[in-house]
Structure 1
Amino acid sequence: MMNLSRNVYILVFAQACFFACSMAVFTFAGLSGQELASDPAYATLPVSLYIVSAALATGPLSLLMQRTSRRFGFRLGASFGVFGGLLCVASLYSGSFVLLCIATVSMGPFQASAQYYRFAAGESVSKAQAPRAISLILLGGVASAFAVPVATGWLNNYFEGYSYLGSFVFVVGAATLVFLPIAFLKPLEAKHGSGETEGTGEIRTLGQIIRTPKFVIAVINAGLGYAMMSFVMTATPLAMVKAGFPASQGAYVIQWHVVAMFLPGLVTGNLITRFGVLPILLAGQALFAGAFVVALSGVEAWQFTLSLVMLGVGWNFCFVGGTSLLTQVHTDSEKGKVQGVNEIIVFGFSGVASFGAGVILQKFGWATVNETAFAMLGIAVFATVIWGLTDARKQPVPES
């Protein structure tokens, strides 16, 4: 194991707790919505509100943490997670779809704060170690993949009179656990600057930064990568129930999807260090394409599983690659506004996609969900290839 700051390992544990909550919300909020909503087309609205709320909270949280500390922001976010989880429990106990929507909105700031775990990890190590630290944080989600189906299954059986209520009892407990490691997080110091103006003392305007090609490609890959993943993942449990599978089978597929999302964290950082960001982004996009092809080939259990596994690895490559590219765009003094805008865009895309998944699935079917995802992928591939070709032309030609 590489020698990294203690902060990185603390954040890995926090990431595991957070993603346990997020996995439970993505798996069971849609199923709960389907039971409580008057129109099944609105089944994924609670999930969408969760993501949109996170998008709206990312900017303020980024600025708040820059003015206070990462530790304060992370603990504040976890507080929202506990509160929102309790509201989810109350909504299922009372059978209120409106309260379920309010509950997932309340959990949004928890999702928003947790997105900065990877940035905090990158800030805790040297510039050379940043891609490895970022990918290791995402590895924390692997533990969640195995814990969530077992724990939520047991708790749902315990509260068998209320469908899925036990899942949100689990969310409350997992969000509470975040407080423990974050209490030991060391204050972060500027380990390295990464922006193109480092050393000049110049702080660029946000408009100048977002016009840089690296920022655009970082956001496209992280944003559309997250949107495609959320779009298909949110629809999958509902599509499987429509295809005749039990909800537990959908949870099993999501489990292996989450493993595929985070297990590559063992190697993604090293691959970026060795081969560069561009090949990893293109590999991720190829995996997305494979996932959609498999999903379109049929609705057997193995097709759902294989598609979601490929979707997970593709997301990891695009998300880690995009995040690593973003760290090259800003200086330490610029990070608050740049990271905030990035997260707003990423989760704005994801929120729209997750709601659209429910509507498209109900109105047009599973095949159309994946065909729509293919269209999103085309945008990401086109932009990345053009940037790659343009960037290659800028490289100096070695003298013979």
Structure 2
Amino acid sequence: MTSTAASSALAAGPDVQRRILRVLVASQILSGAGLAAGITVGALLAQDMLGTKGLAGLPSALFTAGSALAAIGVGRISQARGRPGLAAGYLTGAVGSAGVLAAAALGSPVLLFVALFVYGAGTATNLQARYAGADLAAPTHRARAVSTVLVATTLGGVVGPNLAAPTGDLAALLGIPRLAGPFLLSGAAYAAAACVLALRLRPDPLLLARSLAEAEQMPAAQSAQAGPAVEGAPEGPRGGVVLGALVMVLTQLVMVAVMTMTPVHLHDHGHGTAASGLVIAIHVGAMYLPSPLTGRLVDRYGRIAIAAASGITLLVAGLVAALAPGDSVALLALALALLGLGWNFGLVSGTAIITDMVPLATRARTQGMVDVSIAIAGATGGLASGIVVDLAGYPVLALTGGILALAVLPAIAVTAHSR
């Protein structure tokens, strides 16, 4: 990009950023429906095909492990070529959805596990899209840009689980087990999101941000910190990256573990897929819907304060889930809403910390590696959740998760002490 072209782009910066956000919002609405399918029925489908509860957390572990591999791929493509990796990630998720449908139709657990691993690419891409929203944002508005992309997932994420019953009916008409029905929706949704990004994400936000930095003769590291000082951000790139990653890793681990086994817990107490769909819809809504408010809180009160709030909120969620009677859909829905809110606090604040600290020259690669850690944490939480519930029960899982989330607080204290 020439100096004149870069200057013109810089002058039109707010308009370009708004256009980029509109495209990302459209893709996130679609992909939100796609990622909700695995959350809603993944564990139930595995339990039905395997005949055991102990491995019911395996689907969550598999598609979050798949998202770890996809995060590496999307991060590398973005580092080299900008954000086209997002479209490739969603297309891969659509392929995984088709594989789940085939596995269910054939009654093949092996194919199911492979397909769920591939399906995880959609989850990774949905999370990576938040970074694209922040590429061209001013430092003091990064959290709000991230939150705008995240909140767009709400519509699809809330509608998707509530279509579990209708898509199950459609699957039955096609000769596919009802529990696999939501993956019909996820395949179509991921494919549509890929098309939107491939055709409309122009100009590429990451490449444009780099070009603007070069045209302004500003070092990439300085451009990542350009503008007024960000209140409540940790000092030092390395410490900031570690803290931001740790906040997101802990919140992901706890959220996935408790969320994965809640539909199974409801099923064991006589509730059907409609009740599970409602609770998960509320949970997904709480994960994304508060994002605009969270973004403003992070930009106003600082990254550290909201990161601490995430640990406390997750503790309360664990306590409510552990104490709620198994037949109380309302209390479990409240617990899952708090679980989603705590996750939202951690993700927005952690993402802002990472973006503040990492220079443009290495930003995409670092973001991809951080999301690998997040995905591994989710896989660990999903796999361990079924084992814990099988051995000790759902209340023990919920309480343990809440207590574990409090590890965010000493991490923040150590970072603050090292300043």
Q: Which residue of 1 aligns with 2:209?
A: 190
Shift, 1:350, TM fit: 0.8
State yes or no: 1:110 paired with 2:136: no
For 1:13 and 1:199, how far apart are their aligned partners in 2?
28
Classify 1:94/1:218 alpha carbon distance in 2 versus 1 (closer, same or farther; 3 Å): same
Contiguous gaps of at least 5 residues in structure 1: 201-208, 395-400
Q: Which residue of 2 aligns with 1:239?
A: 265
State yes or no: 1:283 paired with 2:309: yes
State yes or no: 1:134 paired with 2:149: no
CA contact (8 A) 1:122 1:134 kept: yes
State yes or no: 1:41 paired with 2:70: no
For 1:359 and 1:40, how far apart are their aligned partners in 2?
8
For 2:409 and 2:236, how far apart are their aligned partners in 1?
19
State yes or no: 1:166 paired with 2:190: no
Shift, 1:277, TM fit: 1.0
Q: Which residue of 2 aligns with 1:365?
A: 393
Matched ranges for 1:53-92 at <5 A: 53-71=66-84, 73-92=85-104
Shift, 1:115, TM fit: 2.2
For residue 184 of structure 1, what is the amino acid of its counterpart? R
Which shifted more, 366-375 or 246-255? 366-375
- Per-residue CA distance 1:12-57 (angstroms, 9 max, x = gap): 1212222211111111111100100143211221221110111122
Q: Which residue of 2 aligns with 1:267?
A: 293
For 2:274 and 2:315, how far apart are their aligned partners in 1?
27
Identical positions, percent: 23
CA contact (8 A) 1:16 1:141 kept: yes
TM-score scaled to structure 2, two decimals?
0.86
Matched ranges for 1:178-327 at <5 A: 178-182=193-197, 183-186=199-202, 187-188=204-205, 189-190=208-209, 197-198=221-222, 212-299=238-325, 300-327=328-355
CA contact (8 A) 1:253 1:308 kept: yes
For 1:21 and 1:59, how far apart are their aligned partners in 2?
20
Classify 1:7/1:34 alpha carbon distance in 2 versus 1 (closer, same or farther; 3 Å): same
For residue 258 of structure 2, what is the amino acid of its counterpart? V
CA contact (8 A) 1:15 1:137 kept: yes
Secondary structure of 1:42 counterpart: coil
- Per-residue CA distance 1:260-292 (angstroms, 9 max, x = gap): 111111211111111111111122222111111
Which shifted more, 316-325 or 30-39? 30-39
- Per-residue CA distance 1:74-108 (angstroms, 9 max, x = gap): 22112211211111111111111111111111122
Classify 1:232/1:196 alpha carbon distance in 2 versus 1 (closer, same or farther; 3 Å): farther
For 2:68 and 2:350, how far apart are their aligned partners in 1?
17
Classify 1:126/1:88 alpha carbon distance in 2 versus 1 (closer, same or farther; 3 Å): same
Classify 1:374/1:155 alpha carbon distance in 2 versus 1 (closer, same or farther; 3 Å): closer
Aligned residues: 381
Shift, 1:374, TM fit: 2.8
CA contact (8 A) 2:70 2:89 kept: no
Shift, 1:197, TM fit: 4.4
For 2:408 and 2:108, how far apart are their aligned partners in 1?
39
Shift, 1:211, TM fit: 7.9
Secondary structure of 1:128 counterpart: helix
Contiguous gaps of at least 5 residues in structure 2: 1-13, 225-234
For 1:364 and 1:174, how far apart are their aligned partners in 2?
37
TM-score scaled to structure 1, two decimals?
0.89
CA contact (8 A) 1:8 1:124 kept: no
For 2:287 and 2:348, how far apart are their aligned partners in 1?
10
Shift, 1:150, TM fit: 3.6
Q: Which residue of 2 aligns with 1:21?
A: 34
Shift, 1:331, TM fit: 0.4
For 2:350 and 2:300, how far apart are their aligned partners in 1?
16
Task: Name the Cα RMSD after superposition.
Answer: 2.3
For residue 53 of structure 1, what is the amino acid of its counterpart? G
For residue 179 of structure 1, what is the amino acid of its counterpart? A
CA contact (8 A) 1:195 1:330 kept: no
